[in-house]
Amino acid sequence: MLRSYFRRGAEVALVDRQIAAVTIATHYREYHEHRRPRRFRMHGDDGSDGGGGGTASTMRRGGRSSSSSPPSSATSTTSNSVMTTTKTTTTTTTTPPSEANVIVIGGGIVGSSVAYHLGKLGVTDVLLLEKHHLTSGTTWHAAGLINTFGSLSHTSTNMRRYTRELYETILPNETGMSCGYMNVGFIELASDADRLEYYRRVASFNRLCGVDVREITSEEVRERCPIIETNDVMAGFYVESDGRANPTDATMALVKGARMNGVHVIEGISVSGVITTADADASDTNGGGGGGLSRRHGGRGVGGVPKVTGVTLSSGETIRSNVVVNCAGMWARQLGERCGVNVPNQAAEHYYLITEPIRDIDPNWPVVEDSSRFLYVRPEGGGLMLGLFEAEGASWNVDAIPEDGFHYGRIEPNFDRMGPYIEKAMERVPIARNSGIKSFFCGPESFTPDGYPIIGESSELRNYYVAAGMNSLGILTGGGVGMVLARWIKDGRAPHDVDVTAMDASRFKKYQNNPRYREHRAGETLGNTYKVHYPDRQPRTCRGGRRSALHDRLAARNAFFRDVSGWESPSWYAPISSDDDIDGIGSDFPPAEVVATRQSFGRPDWFNHWSDEHNACRNGVALFDMSFMSKFAVIGRDSGELLNRLSTANVDGDVGVITYTQWLNESGRMEADLTVTKIDEGHFLVVATDTQHNQVVTRLRRHLGEEGGGDRRFDASILDITGAYCQINLQGPKSRDLLQELTAHDLSNDAFPFRKVAEIDMGYARVMCARITYVGELGYELYIPVESAVHVYDLIVEAGMRDHGLRHAGLRALGSLRHEKGYRDYGHDVDNTDHILDVGLDFTCDFNKPSGFIGREAVIEHKRRVAASGGMSKRLAQILVNDAMPLLHHGEVLWRDGNRICEVRSASYGHTLGGAVGLCMLERREENGPIDKSYVSDGVWSIEIGKDFYPCTVSLRPLYDPTGKRSKV
C-alpha cells in the first residue's frame, strides 16, 4: 500500500509545485500592493517542524523589491556603533543605498524578526536584504508549530513564550496583519516509562517558567484528538494556549512592522561577501568601504580582530555599514566562510506527508507530537499533516548549498528510507491508512553540531553578528531570537537578562565546519530532536578526533570516554581484571562501553564505580586527566597589565603564584571564570574550561589594543598552547606523599603552600606544578609537555598503585566532588546574567589595584545598592536532597513554604554527603526580605523531581568543608 501511495505522491509532485508557485506569486502581488495578504493553506506552505531562518545571500540579483527610505529629520544618537532615533519616515525604492547603519542579510523568519526588533528598539537606518523573495529559503515550507512545552532551558522557553505572544497579539495589533496563529493547543505523548519521567521533569520546569502544562490521561488525549491511537499512551502533556502559526504570514507581519519603524527592505539583492578593516589595511586607502561610517564609529578593529565595514553585492556594488547580520539560513555557513567567520550549520533532509481530505477532520484539533515515533500530527487542508523525523537523519549538499535557483526548493524524497517511519506514523494515526497521499514533501533545514542555535557576535570579526542554525525551531523561536539579537546589537553586548552561553556564536571550533564533520553530525542532531534527552547521553558521531596523549593508557584502564568539546575524556572507569595485567580487561569485568549501555534517569549501572572514584579522592589520592582544559600563554612587556585589566583579582603579583579570578563586563556580570599563573615577569599562563576556549582568546585579542590607552597597543602576544601540554591533576589527602616520592623538589606545606607554582623534576621530564584544587582537597595540577606525558604518567601510576592506593577518576567524580564543595562552573551554574556578588565570587575582586578592572565601578555600585536595601536579593546556594535515593540532573524545581522559588542549575550526587546535591539561584520575593541565613533557616524546603517532592537542605555556605581547611593542609 505504501508503494502505491508513494507512486501517487510522485505523480502529483509537479502539480504541487505548480500550485505552490501560483499561490506564492499571488501572495506576493498582494503584499507588494500593500494589501493585507490573504491567508493560504497548502501542503507546500507548512512543512517542517519549526522551519528555517533566512534565505540564500549570494544568488543572482532579480525579482521584485520593496524598501523604506532613510529616516528624515530624525533626532539620533550613537551607542556601540549603532544609531538610534525617535522619528522615522518611509518610502519605497528598488535601489540599494550606498551606506547603512545595520545590514541584515536574509529575509526569512529570523532575518525579518531581527530587522523588526532593531526597528522597534529605535536603531536607525537598518537595511534588510533578501536575494530572492522573502521566505523563499526554508521558512516557506515550515510547519509553524508553536509549542512552549519541551525545553529545560530558561532562554529557549522564554523565547518560545515571547514568540507565541508576538504572533498571537503583538504583531496583529501593531500591523493589522494576521500571523495565522490558531490557538488549538498542543499535546506531547509519553508512551514509555522513560519518556513519562522525562516529560514530568520538563513539565515541572516549564511551570516554573510560566507554561501552563497539564498532565492528562490517554482518555483525555483521545477526547481532544479522536484520531490518535492511545492504547500504549501512558500520559499526555497538554498546553491549551499553544498551537500553530502560518510562517509566511508571520514573516510578512514582521516585515510590515519593521517598515513601520523605518527599516528598509529590498528583495532581489544578492550579497556576495563583506568588507572589513583588514581590507582597508591591506590597501592603505579609504576605498572599498574601509572609511566613511566605519571611521566615524570605531574605525580599525582592535587587538588583531578586524571589524566589518560593509558588504559587497553580486552586482559589484558595495554598501558601507557599521554592523552586518548574517541571517542567511542554510546559506549562513557559506556566507561566513567568505570572510573567515565560522558558522558550522548544515542542511539536512526533513519530511512531511499530507493526506487527501478525510471526512470529519476538525481543523481545531490540537497539534500532537509522539517522539517515540518521530512524529507530529496536525490537521491540514481537510486532511492531515504527518511530520516525520528520523532516528538518524541525512545531511544534504554537504559541499555547498546551491547558490542559484534553489528558492522554494524541494529535495527528491527517499521513499525506501522513510517507509518504516510512515508505517509507525500510521500506527499512531490509523485513519491515515485509508486515505490517499496528496503530497510527500522533503525539504532542507539546517542543524548545528550541538543542537543549539548560532546567535551573537562572531569571534573572528567585530560587529559581524549571526542568527542561524535553528535546528527546526526557526518559527517557534524566531521572535525571541530576533529580540535577543537586536538587543545584543544595540547595546554591544549580550542582554544582561538572557543566558546566551549555550547559543553564543563564538563557541564552535574550526574543525566543526569540516565537511566530513558536518555530514556526520547534522544527521545525528536531527535525530536527537525526538529522542529522550538522558542526563548522560553522548554524541556517537565525529568521535576520536581529539585525544589526550594519555588516551591509550586510560583506555587500557577501562575508561568510559565522553565527548568534551571534541576531546575524548574519561567520564568514569570500570574495574579491570588485574592491575598487573591491564590487557586482561573483560576476563572478570566487562568493558566500560558495555556497562554504560543502559541509560536512565535513576542510578546508572556504573553508580558504584563513580562512588569509588569519589571516595578515593576524598580519602586517598585520585588521578584526573584534564588535558582538554583551555591553556593560553600570554607573553610580553604589557602582558601583566593586560591581564590585570581583565581580571577581578590582582594576577600580576609575585612570580610563581596561581590566582583564581573572574572576567566581567562593564555591568559587573560574569564573562569568564579561570586561573592566571604568573610564571615569570611578562610570562603568564591562562587556564579556562574547554567550553570557554574561544571566548577567552577572543576577549584577550579584542582587549590588546582597546585598553592600552589612545593609539597605544599592549605589548603582548597570545599563544594557544592547549594541545602542547597534557594536564594531570593529582587530588586527595595522599597526593603530596605520592608526588613527593617522584620529585626532589620540596613539597612541604611551608615550602610549597597553597597557590604555589614551580617547575619540578619528574623522572626525565620537567613539569610545571601548581598547588590548587577544584575538588576541595589537597591537590596539584601538573602541566606536562606532550612528549613527556606518557613517561610522567607511568611514573605516577607505578608509584601510586604500589604505595598509595592511587585510583583513576573521571569527570563524573570531578563533578560530584566540586558540587559538594560548591565550586562554580561557568556555563552550567554561572552565566552571563549573573552579577559577581550574586554568585558569591566577589572575594576575587581587588578594588585597590592601580589598573582597576573591567566592571569595577558596577561592582562597587551593586555593593552599595545591596547595603542600602538591607541585603542580597539573589544568591547562589547549595541544596542537598535529604533522601539518599533520588538523583538530581538539571532543571528540578526548588520550593519554599509551598511556593516555587527556582530551578536547579547544575547537580550531581554527593557520595560523601549522602544525597543528591546541586546549585541554584535563590531570588527574593519582596515580602520575604533579603536572602540571608534566616531566610534559609526559616523556610520549609523541598525539591520537585518529576511528580515527587523530597525534603531538602539549603545552604549559603559549602556543605562540605565550609572553611576550606582540607585544601590547605
pLDDT, residue 577, reads: 65
Q: Any idea what the Cα angle at residue 264 is, between residues 259 and 265, rounded to 5°?
A: 85
Please indicate whether residue 607 or residue 22 has the higher confidence score (pLDDT). Answer: 607
The stretch 542-554 carries a mean pLDDT of 97
pLDDT tens digit string along 742-785? 999 999 999 999 999 999 999 999 999 999 999 999 999 999 99
What's residue 926's pLDDT? 65
Q: What is the pTM of this model?
A: 0.89
Residue with cell 597526593: 735
Quote the pLDDT of residue 404. Answer: 81
- Comparing 24 with 167, the larger pLDDT belongs to 167
Grid cell locating 73: 529629520
380 alpha carbon, distance to own chain's centre: 33
Per-residue pLDDT tens over the stretch 383-398: 999 999 999 999 999 9
- Predicted pLDDT at 82: 59
> Beta-carbon neighbour count of residue 949 at 10 Å?
12
pLDDT at 935: 94
Query: What is the spatial distance between Cα 145 and Cα 81, in angstroms, rounded to a whole number?
Result: 36
Output the pLDDT for position 50: 39
pLDDT digit string (tens) for 130-144? 999 999 999 999 999
Q: Is 462 exposed, middle or buried (0-12, 13-18, 19+ CB in 10 A)?
A: buried
Alpha-carbon distance 30 to 267, whole Å?
A: 15
Tell me the average pLDDT across 790-806. Answer: 98
Angle formed by the axes of helices 2-32 and 415-428, to 10°?
90
Q: For residue 1, name the pLDDT band (cuts at 50, 70, 90).
A: very low
Cell numbers of 680, please?
A: 615569570
Instruction: Please determine, for residue 22, whether its predicted confidence score (pLDDT) is greater than 60.
Output: no
Residues 6+ apart with CB under 8 A from 688: 629, 630, 672, 673, 674, 675, 696
> Exposure pattern of 883-913 as b/e (b: 16+ CB <10 Å)?
eeebbbbbbbbbbbeeeebbbbbbbbbbbbb
Q: What is the pLDDT of residue 57?
A: 32
Structure confidence at residue 41 as a pLDDT band (50, 70, 90) = very low
What DSSP designation does 47 have?
A: -
pLDDT-above-90 percentage for the chain: 82
Task: Check pLDDT > 50 for residue 365.
Answer: yes
How far apart (Å, rounded) are the C-alpha atoms in residues 683 and 634? 6
In this predicted structure, the answer to whether residue 925 has a pLDDT above a threshold of 90 is no
Q: Is the pLDDT of residue 896 over 90?
A: yes
Who's near 397: CB < 8 A, 6+ residues apart? 347, 444
Q: Give the Cα-Cα-Cα angle 257, 259, 262 (nearest 5 degrees).
A: 120
When the pLDDT of each residue in the chain is averaged and rounded to a whole number, the result is 88
Model pLDDT for residues 574-585, shown as the tens digit of each residue: 998 654 444 433
Contact residues for 624 (Cβ-Cβ < 8 A; gap 6+): 728, 729, 731, 809, 810, 811, 813, 814
> 850: how many CB neighbours lie within 10 A of its CB?
8
Give the helix/strand (H/E) hosting 386. strand 383-388
Burial of 516 (0-12, 13-18, 19+ CB in 10 A): exposed
CA distance 425 to 370: 9
Question: What pLDDT does 166 receive?
Answer: 98
- 858-968: what fold? Elongation Factor Tu (Ef-tu); domain 3 (2.40.30)
Q: How far is CA 128 from CA 467, 772, 861, 927, in A?
A: 14, 52, 40, 47
Instruction: Locate the domains of the chain by residue range.
Output: 858-968
Q: In 3D, which of 625, 624, 639, 607 has the Cα closest to residue 704?
A: 639
The string of pLDDT tens digits covering residues 602-618 is 999 999 999 999 999 99
User: Taking the CB of residue 160, how many other CB atoms lie within 10 A of it?
Assistant: 26
Q: What is the pLDDT of residue 299?
A: 34
* Cβ atoms 732, 618 nearer than 8 A: yes
398-446 pLDDT tens trace? 999 998 878 999 999 999 999 999 999 999 999 999 999 999 999 999 9
- The confidence score (pLDDT) of residue 706 equals 57
pLDDT of residue 81: 46
Per-residue pLDDT tens over the stretch 640-658: 999 999 999 999 999 999 9
pLDDT digits (tens, 9 = 90+) for 52-94: 333 333 322 223 233 333 222 233 333 344 555 433 334 445 7
35, pLDDT greater than 70: no
